Structure 1
């Protein structure tokens, strides 16, 4: 049994590193496990029976069944966020924060698919952004507070009892504010297309993270990604200066844009931008990063 689990974990790590699988396969795994968990009881029962004299042969059948079940959980199609799509939920500024310049977004969801981009049309006065979401269960709540001259929006599920508290979030933000974004969860898929947005900080922390992040233009920014398994891509637009530092036990880093390398540190310069720079730090046990 240890051999089966060891091989599965080893193959998953290799496939993720090589890009054969994406990190969001774990979203599928957990969703399927939530639906088909009684199979685990069957496998445990077979394992117990295999300890009876004369039934030792069952352990070999059980090993095959465990391997097949894990493959099933990984690849069986799953509706990750089956809840009804809720559209255009406004992020409203509190009345006492009408003149605030910095907006802090804190997303605290265990399993999340988060997309952030600039609003395509002007929003109403006092509206920082609009959020569409599909939950795995329940609803998503927004808590606002004013602290140290900034408004903090905390986005979180309305229950602590769902086995998988997940959601797909699509945030369209007004580009007249400075943003600091913090995303904390177990399994994350993060897509950030800054466009005209002023994003000075973007921090994510999770067990598993799959990301596609564009580097902001015309702003000093800090981007930090921490996960046990992390895979994704960075987009370096024209007129950007950025420094990428990677720390991992197993890593694969490929940067297409013009760059200089000093060990685990990559310096990327596109165009003639010299006034602003981005500091990017990515840490993980297994890490795969592509830059273009």
Structure 2
């Protein structure tokens, strides 16, 4: 075990320097570990057998197997996909939407790819969106609706036991002209959030590992807050918008390409044209943060 871990750390250092491993590899690492963790039992079994006289050589085989497994977790380019089930479901509402109605989406899944975009085409007249899902076999997808004053709330997610965690994907399509509030919670969340043409007044992302491409709305200002351990975000601003940005992170790398970066009258950091009328508020809280603004 010590031999395997020692070699692993040596090679990992070289791979990081050469650019083969980065924060963007962490979601795949956790995806594949959640799907293959029973192999740890195999390694423990071989380790126990290596203590028997005449089977000492097994500890070297075990070291090589552990080393190969660790590199597989880090460097395999995509999550392993086992059997999964898929379907689609409209977000149907019993209430008539008014100008003050807010549709709140609470999305909760331990390990999931979440994509949000504008819905093109027509759907049922009492629908406020559509969800297409792919989840691992044995899991259960759910949507629960609850109304409270001027808020229509949908709790969306998957229920599963740890051995059944695998490929989970939610593609959520939202209607223009409806005001949304979105909350994303989970262990490992990644995907693309294209809010172009969508009205979202606030969005919260809370996860251990977060990896998202975010295109901000060109029709409505958003208040976005992210909280987690490790975060990687690529943010895209429309031409008519600017963003006030607050960053709280222990280790961070910030890149701004194609946008102006200025300081407001109160000392706040502004990304985008200072004269743009559409102003969003972005707050990033993470222990390790990789953030880029690019056009």
Tell me which residue corresponds to 2:273: 270
Alpha carbons of structure 1 residues 165 and 40: separation in structure 2 relative to 1, 3 Å: closer
Distance 1:25 1:247 in 2: 25
Q: CA deviation at 1:23?
A: 4.0
Tell me which residue corresponds to 1:287: 289
Alpha carbons of structure 1 residues 156 and 252: separation in structure 2 relative to 1, 3 Å: same
Tell me which residue corresponds to 1:207: 208
Q: CA deviation at 1:203?
A: 0.8
Instruction: Give unpaired runs (5+ residues) of structure 2.
Output: none
Tell me which residue corresponds to 1:26: 29
Q: What's the TM-score once normalised by structure 1's chain length?
A: 0.83
Q: CA deviation at 1:260?
A: 2.6
Q: CA deviation at 1:70?
A: 1.5
Map 1:56-75 → 2, pairs under 5 A:
61-74=61-74, 75=76
- 1:37-66 C-alpha deviation (Å, 9 max, x unpaired): 2x3223113434556789877655544331
Distance 2:28 2:54 in 1: 39
Map 1:136-285 → 2, pairs under 5 A:
136-137=136-137, 138-160=139-161, 163-164=164-165, 167-256=168-257, 257-260=259-262, 266-270=269-273, 272-274=275-277, 276-285=278-287
Instruction: Give unpaired runs (5+ residues) of structure 1.
Output: none
Distance 2:11 2:178 in 1: 43
Report the secondary structure of 1:7's partner residue.
Answer: helix
Alpha carbons of structure 1 residues 203 and 92: separation in structure 2 relative to 1, 3 Å: same
Further displaced range: 213-222 or 189-198 = 213-222
Tell me which residue corresponds to 2:120: 120
CA-atom RMSD, angstroms?
Answer: 3.4
- 1:108-141 C-alpha deviation (Å, 9 max, x unpaired): 1111111111111243321101111111123311
Alpha carbons of structure 1 residues 172 and 72: separation in structure 2 relative to 1, 3 Å: same
Q: CA deviation at 1:162?
A: 5.3
The answer on whether the counterparts of 1:110 and 1:165 sit within 8 Å (CA) in structure 2 is no
The answer on whether the counterparts of 1:180 and 1:201 sit within 8 Å (CA) in structure 2 is yes
- 1:17-40 C-alpha deviation (Å, 9 max, x unpaired): 975844431354235415xx2x32
Aligned length: 285
Distance 1:121 1:251 in 2: 41
Alpha carbons of structure 1 residues 158 and 19: separation in structure 2 relative to 1, 3 Å: closer
Distance 2:287 2:9 in 1: 17
